[in-house]
Structure 1
Amino acid sequence: MCIRDKKLLVTRSKGEKMFFALGGKIKPGETELECLQREVMEEIGCEPINPKHLETFEGRNHDNTKTIKMTCYTCELKGTILPCSEIEETAWIDKRYKEKGIQVASILELYIIPYLIEKRLL
């Protein structure tokens, strides 16, 4: 999770309507922090700096076909944010994202964003 000025950085993949948090699946033999480093670089071309464990969330995936566990870290970014790989768009969203017509993945909407609001991070 990259949070600046009470806004969360989210990404939208090509062909998708909803936005997701940065990140992805851990590859075999990879640590969580190595995955974080790789995914952030692959998705937005930046290096995550000072990652800190935030919380681990469990919920349904975006198409409600399975339960997922999402371990979240906060970090700063080194570099210019540029959509890379499968990413079509990035956005900084605040707690009023729904009013702006922005759709986010269910785990973000149901668990992560409410947690960030409760902790006064958004």
Structure 2
Amino acid sequence: MANDDGVREKVAWVLLRDHRVLMTRSRGRDVFFFPGGMREPGESDGQTLVREIDEELLTAIDAGSMVHAGTFEVPAGHPEHGPFRMICYTAGHRGPLTPAMEVEETAWFGYADRHRVSYVDALVFEALHDDGRLW
């Protein structure tokens, strides 16, 4: 769904463990993405993240623990269908991480795996690596 400025937006979950980050791969795709999705009309970022992660990974996000981890943009005219904005949050969760819906696979990626993700996801990898949180 597009924001008021007409830019499509995704709300994404950045889950870090042991300097690695959780990534998902959708059925029929080769590229991995941060879990999350597009806002439904009237939803806040928190509501979107809770709903999307429940649908994709059957786990419950602790909305009270959400912390904005950055907003990353694909410019207009970019080969990866810009303009596009990804609003990232860290958050705790309850329950196992079980792929569901369109998610076929989950994987824990380090910085060296950034070539296996989309352009906007690679921007997040760079920021996490620069902060010393992703190795």
SS in 1 for 2:53: helix
Change (3 A) 1:42 1:66: same
The corresponding residue for 1:59 is: 74
C-alpha deviation, 1:60, in angstroms: 5.3
Mapped contact 2:75–2:84 kept (Cα < 8 A):
yes
Amino acid at match of 1:80: P
Name the structure 2 match of 1:11: 24
Greater shift in the superposed pair: 86-95 or 44-53 = 44-53
Shift in Å, 1:115: 0.1
Task: Give the Cα separation in 1 of the matches to 2:106 and 2:28.
Answer: 14
Deviations along 1:5-57, one digit per CA (max 9) or x if unpaired, are 11100100000000000111000010000000001111101112211111111
The superposition leaves residues 48-105 of structure 1 with CA deviations (integer Å, 9 ceiling, x where unpaired) of 221111111111599622211111001122101110001000001011215xxx6111
Alpha carbons 2:24, 2:34 under 8 Å: kept: yes
Q: Which runs of 5+ in 2 are unaligned?
A: 1-13
Q: TM-score scaled to structure 2, two decimals?
A: 0.81
- Supply the RMSD in Å over aligned alpha carbons: 1.8
Measure the CA separation in 2 of the matches of 1:45 and 1:74.
17
Which one-letter code corresponds to 2:124 in the other structure?
A: I
Structure with higher strand content:
1
Q: Is this contact kept in 2: 1:60–1:107, CA < 8 A?
A: no
SS in 1 for 2:91: strand
Change (3 A) 1:70 1:76: same
Give the total of aligned pairs.
Answer: 118
User: More displaced, 75-84 or 34-43?
Assistant: 75-84
| 8 Å contact from structure 2 (residues 67, 90) kept in 1 | yes
Percent identity for Structure 1 against Structure 2:
33
- Aligned mates of 1:60, 1:21 — CA distance in 2: 19
**Runs of 4 or more above 6 Å deviation:** none
In the TM superposition, what are the counterparts of 1:31-70 in structure 2 within 5 Å?
A: 31-49=44-62, 50-59=65-74, 64-70=80-86
For residues 80 and 68 of structure 2, what CA distance do their matches in structure 1 show? 26
Runs (5+) with no aligned partner, structure 1: none
